[in-house]
Structure 1
């Protein structure tokens, strides 16, 4: 009869810890929220200030139509 041994896999050497993953996730969510706020603010700018920025109303509509995860 052969002896049974329990197999415990070795940890992955390049595996990141949970705090790192949580940090990356929080940064991504913060970036998305910031992008949402910037597009909302851009949509409220009047035509006079858009001309100063060199933007057209069509540029603003196109940018504001993007989803928050798209750059």
Structure 2
């Protein structure tokens, strides 16, 4: 009998080889970082644009006071 070896095709991306939990953790951290950046941007919006968005300065303060993992 001849032994056969399984090889990974060259077209598979390195991310595809990562274990599921590692990819999940990377997506979670990336989402947290994105939320953090969005809140920083929200804090910089001026009053005129806040009115256009239907937000008050208190809404912005409350949102920006949340931790990065809170939705």
* TM bracket (short chain): 0.7 to 0.9
TM-score of the pair, normalised by structure 2? 0.74
Which 4+ runs in 1 deviate beyond 3 A? none
Match of 2:34 in 1: 34
SS in 2 for 1:69: coil
Runs of at least 5 residues in structure 1 that lack an aligned partner in the other structure: 1-17
Match of 1:3 in 2: none
| CA RMSD, Structure 1 to Structure 2 (Å) | 0.9
1: CA distance between counterparts of 2:33 and 2:64? 14
Between Structure 1 and Structure 2, whose CA radius of gyration is higher?
1
Match of 2:11 in 1: none
Alignment: residue pair count:
54
